[in-house]
């Protein structure tokens, strides 16, 4: 596998969906073409720096107001900027999943599925996870896997439909509509930082049904970083908030994406 000693160093890790931001310059004069915008936003959202680490707290709220919490430490390391990358997720809460580890080797490209592993500590069991549907809920939240690890740019066609003072609005239409539950989605991308700030998903009838918003953006290690994002499912009335703390970039994550570290995570994954 290609390993890129990344030098590009755009910012940091977009640990989960909308994390991070970029140092991009403000677009002066003419807007760049749409391919440039989405490529840049993708890097800003998912590939900042060579690697990244954060503590993530998810609060899942049902329509009835019942809440559930998930807390985990996530580590990300890029193999190729804009391409393959590895994720290591160490669960801390709730207690019935404590010390469970979820590992993903994300592969970008036509027809390539990710490799996923799950470690169940009570059984000392390393499992391969057969999950090819990336539109499945991530740990029971309103976020789906693709929100977390990114959706391949080549899976959609992109169109710049509007340029406001602050934002590029890009419409994305899936090339294989039968594989997803939406007909299209729009993304508002900050013109200065290239941080995706809002995503609106429309169902097959053209109705808006799902909204993801970046609520807080902080500058961490000189990199604008989304530290709080919220997804609302307008159909179920449920919502999930994700808060990122202890965000660090370019921490020098080693080759931890191995069975050895599933069975006993490295220290940096545990605290």
Partner 1 sequence: MIVFRRIVPIHIRTVVLLAMTCSAIVVAQDEQVKSDPVREFFERFDTEYHGFYEARAGYRLQNDPDEKDMSIMEARYQFDLFHMRDWGDIKVKGDVYGDGVEEKGVFDLREANLFMRPTDSMDVKLGRQVLTWGTGDLIFINDLFPKDWQSFFIGRDTEYLKAPSDAVKVSLFMDWANLDVAYTPEFDSDRFISGERLSYWNPVLGDRAGEDNTMSVERRREFLEEDELALRLYRNIRNYELALYGYWGYWKSPGGFNEAMTAAVFPDLYVYGASIRGTVGKGIGNAEIGYYDSVDDRDGDDFLINNSEMRYLVGYTQEIARDFTAGVQYYVEQMLDYDDYENNQPAGMPKRDEFRHLTTLRLTKLLMNQNLSLSLFTYYSPSDEDVYMRPIANYKASDHLAVEIGGNVFFGDETHTFFNQFHNNTNAYLAVRYSF
- Binding part of the chain for partner 1, among 32-40, 131-139, 201-209, 222-230 by CB under 8 A, reads 131-139
CB 225 within 8 A of CB 215: no
Closest to partner 1 by CB, 26 or 130: 130
Buried b / exposed e over 216-243, threshold 16 CB at 10 Å, is ebeebeebbbbbbbbbbbeeeebbbbbb
* Min CB(260)–partner 1 separation in Å: 6
Give me the least distance between CB of 252 and partner 1, in Å please: 14
| 132 sits near partner 1 (criterion: CB under 8 A) | yes
178 binds partner 1 (CB under 8 A): no
Binding to partner 1 (CB under 8 A) within 43-72 occurs at: 60, 62, 66, 68-69
Residues forming beta bridges with residue 262, ordered by sequence position: none
Cβ nearer to partner 1, comparing 95 with 205: 95
**How many angstroms separate the first and last alpha carbons of the chain?**
30
* Part in contact with partner 1 (CB under 8 A); list of ranges 44-52, 79-87, 130-138, 145-153: 130-138
Task: Say if residue 186 is exposed, middle or buried (CB neighbours under 10 Å; 0-12, 13-18, 19+).
Answer: middle
Whose Cβ is closer to partner 1: residue 128's or residue 222's?
Answer: 128
E-state strands within 94-238: 101-106, 115-120, 125-128, 156-163, 167-174, 182-190, 196-203, 208-220, 223-233
Contact 235, 261 (CB under 8 A): no
To partner 1, the closest distance from the beta carbon of 187 in angstroms equals: 24
Determine which residue in the list 2, 26, 64, 122 makes contact with partner 1, applying CB under 8 A: 122
The neighbour count for residue 142, using CB atoms within 10 Å, is 23
Judged by CB under 8 A, the stretch of 10-18, 23-31, 46-54, 91-99 that binds partner 1 is 91-99
Residue 23 C-beta: closest distance to partner 1, Å: 34
Confirm if 120 and 101 have CB atoms less than 8 A apart.
Answer: no
Sort strands 167-174 and 223-233 into parallel, antiparallel or unpaired: unpaired
Question: What residues line the site for partner 1 (CB under 8 A)?
Answer: 1, 60, 62, 66, 68-69, 93-96, 98, 105, 113, 115, 122-126, 128-133, 135-137, 139-141, 238, 258-260, 264, 267, 270-271
């Amino acid at each position: 596998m290609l390993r890129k000693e990344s030098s590009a160093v755009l910012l940091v890790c977009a640990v989960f969906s909308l994390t991070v931001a970029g140092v991009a310059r403000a677009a002066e004069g003419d807007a760049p073409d749409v391919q440039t915008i989405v490529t840049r936003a993708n890097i800003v959202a998912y590939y900042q720096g060579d690697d990244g680490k954060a503590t993530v707290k998810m609060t899942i709220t049902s329509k009835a107001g019942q809440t559930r919490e998930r807390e985990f430490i996530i580590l990300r390391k890029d193999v190729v900027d804009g391409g393959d990358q590895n994720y290591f997720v160490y669960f801390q809460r709730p207690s019935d999943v404590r010390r469970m580890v979820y590992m993903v080797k994300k592969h970008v490209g036509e027809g390539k599925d990710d490799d996923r592993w799950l470690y169940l500590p009570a059984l000392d069991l390393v499992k391969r996870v057969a999950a090819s549907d990336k539109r499945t809920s991530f740990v029971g939240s309103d976020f789906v896997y693709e929100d977390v690890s990114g959706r391949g740019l080549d899976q959609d066609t992109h169109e710049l439909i509007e340029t406001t003072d602050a934002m590029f609005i890009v419409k994305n239409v899936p090339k294989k509509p039968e594989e997803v539950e939406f007909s299209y989605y729009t993304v508002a991308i900050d013109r200065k930082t290239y941080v995706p700030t809002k995503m609106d998903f429309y169902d097959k009838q053209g109705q808006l049904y799902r909204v993801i918003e970046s609520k807080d953006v902080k500058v961490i290690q000189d990199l604008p970083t989304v530290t709080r994002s919220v997804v609302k499912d307008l159909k179920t009335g449920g919502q999930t908030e994700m808060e990122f703390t202890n965000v660090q970039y370019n921490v020098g994550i080693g080759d931890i994406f191995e069975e050895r570290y599933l069975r006993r995570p490295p220290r940096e994954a545990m605290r």
